[in-house]
Amino acid sequence: MMTLDDFVVYVILPILALAVVIVFVRLVRGPSLPDRVVAIDLMNTLGIGIVATYAIATGQSAFLDVAIAMALISFLGTVAFAYYIERRV
């Protein structure tokens, strides 16, 4: 019988890590700057998911504050990038 801890560590976190690797390929290859910004935004979102998963794995609910801060910073970063790209043209 698999405990929830094992399930989180051996199933969920590897899936999310694989997703990060896949997005990183797009970040490196992305033909244009907006493609790379989309990849970075998705990596931030994946980071929020990983932090939430880690909160369950360790039993520390304080990690949720990290997730909130990451969501805020990710939104600000994407908006700043979009503004910069649009003004640069």
Contact by Cβ (8 Å): 45, 82: no
Determine the Cα–Cα distance for residues 68 and 44; give it in Å rounded to an integer: 12
Site residue total, another protein (CB under 8 A): 49
Copy the structure tokens of residue 71: 């969501």
Determine the Cα–Cα distance for residues 32 and 13; give it in Å rounded to an integer: 30
Minimum Å gap between C-beta 70 and another protein is 9
Positions that interact with another protein (CB under 8 A): 3-4, 7-8, 11-12, 15-16, 18-20, 22-23, 25-26, 31-35, 37-39, 41-42, 45-46, 48-49, 52-53, 55-56, 61, 64-65, 67-68, 71-72, 75, 78-79, 81-83, 85-86, 89
